[in-house]
Structure 1
Amino acid sequence: MKNPRLLLIGTFPHPRGGISVHLQRLKQAADGAAMACSAIDESRLGKPDLPNLWAMSPLDYVRTLIAADVVHIHTSHPFLRLAHVFMARLLLRMVVVTVHSLTAPCRSAAARLSYRLASRLAHVSVFVSEQVRAGLSGHGPVIPAFLAPAALEEGSPAGLASWIRKQQAEGRRVIVSNASRLTKHQAEDLYGLDMLIECFSSPEVRERFACLFLVSSLDGGEEYFAACSRRIADAGISPQFLLVSEPIGFAGLLKLADVFIRATNTDGDALSVREALWYGKRVLGSDCASRPAGVTLFRSRNVADLRDKLLNPSVQADVSSRQDFARPLLELYRSLNKTKLWR
């Protein structure tokens, strides 16, 4: 089956987050499959190797769409997503949209309507989980967003790797957790950093575990990062709790660590959860979203339940969850290319 010319639209690293890392890996997978793949980056941070939406002229934007056979849109902003879909359809491109979570669609009635219109206008809507599809009453395939990390992503800064090894040498199991940036959802810490800090107030937790929490970007979260850093210092847990902000990949830290915790209070099908399972790590996740097999669930925003599940392990990583979902996406692009009627 002939490969189409593919255009990916969304935010590419940096900043690093689940969607941006997914797009980076998806482009690499398309390139590796000899599929001509271009991109429009929506990040506010421009990159020398990627056309940026905010720096493009309208004519360049139209030309980029016309040069593709299949346009795959990952934009989170509801109205911008709808605008991309409308323009791609107007220019007779085959259009795929992926819905990564219910957070953006559920911000308002207008946002929900925009997401639904975009899905109706697209040729195919992809949902990262059954829960997300049901939440939008959508129709389309469920394809989780996890693509396996490349070997180049598995490196870690020497200082952080040394900290992890030191904690392990002292007999502690190392927990890692992360946030693309520190923000709130419904007035609560979206990524649960505050919960993890509180969890480490327990001497038993500090005796048996250490935690490294990575924040990819401080954009808009500088004050909260500083406040959490002070809270860690004031609580006297700094020797076992390292809070850092660096624009680095998370895969290398996951590979070195022992446990991954996803303490979000809202979620889609989190890439980092599947990535931790891919590496065979113990995974604890809040029950705010459906999770893959092998994840130990704890009640969302419940520190006591998180502490209990952490100290009393019951479920180990399930090798059945070690699946790379690049192939179904590449096959979807090829099937759409085959159905084109205007070429």
Structure 2
Amino acid sequence: MAVDLAERRGGAGRRPLVLVGPYPAPWGGISVHLRSLQQLALRSGYEVEVLDVGEGHASRDGSDGVRDAGSYGRFAAELLRVAARDAVLHVHVPGNNVKAWVVAFAASRARPGGLLTVHSGLAPALLDGSPTARRLAWLAAAGYERVLCANGGIAAALERCGVEPARLEVLPAFVPGAVAPADPPAAAVAARARFSTLLAAALAPGNQYGEDVLLDALGLLGARRPDFGCLVYGPGTAEAAFGERLARRGLFGRVVPLGEIEQPASLGVMRLADAFLRPTRADGDSVSVREALGLGVRVVASDVGHRPPEAVLFRAGEPADLAARIEAALAAPPPPEGAGAGDVSERILSAWRSLGLARVRKGVQA
């Protein structure tokens, strides 16, 4: 019945879905989730396009359904076009800077009544520390039917901004199975052959990603387990400066940097590992943690954000505790495949339909 009502609301059955946010590459959490949602909509028979406001926006020509919306002028023009099309809008922002809330506010005024997803575990610190950000977040949220939050801390911070609790929902930002694992880089395969115990981790620039915590923990672990190596991938890991930091800690050769790799290859890297590590100081809901658990790989993650129960947690910012938890995880059996996935596909589809999204192709299972 809900689908029939949504289709009647859509008139001729052609209300497109418009996703707003960063799109791969780079291969960060929000962009990967956005692409997964695009694929979910297409599989379910909906018309969908993406407005890319991320780093790669200038390369978009719209031919694959992804349009350039990264400059102020392009964003404004695309919002006017979206409003004229009577689209269902689903906006994704980190929420950890004022610009993100400006994007959310502008989109809601162009096409009120859509969905907003807030991803970053750093969003509460911004909102609690800045009256301007709190006011802007409240104004932005007022233009959406519902606000989806990657964890409870984000939802609580938005409540403190004055957003009604009934419009807030905590929902993991993860749709499993969007892509299949691909062959990992040759350096990763060689490391698997060289080390009897192999770990893996994703890093990015910024204190919140915990590079120092990870490397200090690996140094402690190396004193007790000379048999282990660690694959590390993500922006900056192929740079000479990262290699120098490894050398200063005596980890050069034991830690194998892979640089930034595409999502299918990163899944291939995870499958090689005995455990995947997430050393962050702040998190929303980590796509990589859920990917690794879904592949049946042990996960050791900091005790921040929204963690699946199958993950082994360590105290954020404490390398000694991370090293101890790695050893404990390795002594236990790996999780079954599919563990911790937290598939939200049906809840997302239901939310889109409740806003009037209608199928382009009749008879497609949604």
2:136 counterpart residue number: 114
CA distances 1:105-147 after superposition (whole Å, capped 9, x unpaired): 5334122332232222211111122232123225322221011
AA in 2 matched with 1:131: G
Tell me which of 51, 61, 79 is aligned to 1:61.
79
Give yes or no for contact 1:73–1:98 (8 Å, CA) kept in 2: yes
SS at match of 1:43: coil
Q: Distance in 1 between matches of 2:344 and 2:357?
A: 21
Displacement, 1:166?
1.4
Q: Distance in 1 between matches of 2:251 and 2:117?
A: 41
Displacement, 1:67?
2.0
Give yes or no for contact 1:95–1:123 (8 Å, CA) kept in 2: yes
Give yes or no for contact 2:172–2:342 (8 Å, CA) kept in 1: no
Displacement, 1:12?
0.5
Does the alignment pair 1:26 with 2:51?
no
1:156 counterpart residue number: 183
Q: Distance in 2 between matches of 1:317 and 1:157?
A: 21
Q: Give the 5 Å matches for 1:1-343.
A: 1=3, 2=7, 4-45=15-56, 46-48=58-60, 49=64, 50-54=66-70, 56=74, 58-76=76-94, 79-104=98-123, 106-107=125-126, 108-109=129-130, 110-137=132-159, 139=165, 140-152=168-180, 154-167=181-194, 170-172=195-197, 174-179=198-203, 181-184=204-207, 190-202=208-220, 203-215=222-234, 217-218=235-236, 226-249=240-263, 250-313=266-329, 317=335, 321-337=340-356
CA distances 1:133-172 after superposition (whole Å, capped 9, x unpaired): 12322532222101114344x11344134234313xx422
SS at match of 2:190: helix
**Cα 1:305–1:51 shift into 2, 3 Å:** same
AA in 1 matched with 2:201: S
Aligned length: 324
Q: Distance in 2 between matches of 1:296 and 1:116?
A: 35
AA in 2 matched with 1:47: S
CA distances 1:216-254 after superposition (whole Å, capped 9, x unpaired): x34xx99xx543311312443223211232242222211
Q: Distance in 1 between matches of 2:347 and 2:42?
A: 15
Q: Distance in 2 between matches of 1:128 and 1:57?
A: 25
Q: Distance in 2 between matches of 1:308 and 1:142?
A: 31
Structure 1 window deviating more from structure 2 (67-76 vs 50-59): it is 50-59
**Cα 1:6–1:241 shift into 2, 3 Å:** same
Structure 1 window deviating more from structure 2 (123-132 vs 309-318): it is 309-318
2:362 counterpart residue number: none
Q: Distance in 2 between matches of 1:28 and 1:330?
A: 12
SS at match of 2:355: helix
RMSD after superposition: 2.7
Q: Distance in 1 between matches of 2:341 and 2:109?
A: 39
Q: Distance in 1 between matches of 2:21 and 2:89?
A: 11
Q: Distance in 2 between matches of 1:332 and 1:71?
A: 11
**Cα 1:281–1:289 shift into 2, 3 Å:** same
**Cα 1:281–1:247 shift into 2, 3 Å:** closer
State TM-score, norm by structure 2: 0.79
Structure 1 window deviating more from structure 2 (57-66 vs 289-298): it is 57-66
AA in 2 matched with 1:166: A
- What 5-or-longer segments of structure 2 have no aligned partner? 8-12, 359-366
Displacement, 1:69?
2.5
Give yes or no for contact 1:88–1:95 (8 Å, CA) kept in 2: no
Q: Distance in 2 between matches of 1:321 and 1:256?
A: 19
SS at match of 2:253: coil
**Cα 1:272–1:68 shift into 2, 3 Å:** farther
CA distances 1:239-271 after superposition (whole Å, capped 9, x unpaired): 321123224222221122221111101111111
Give yes or no for contact 2:112–2:143 (8 Å, CA) kept in 1: no
Poorly superposed stretches of 4+, deviation over 6 Å: none
Q: Distance in 1 between matches of 2:69 and 2:357?
A: 29
CA distances 1:76-129 after superposition (whole Å, capped 9, x unpaired): 365544444544444454311011124145334122332232222211111122
Give yes or no for contact 1:70–1:93 (8 Å, CA) kept in 2: no
AA in 2 matched with 1:141: E
SS at match of 1:141: strand
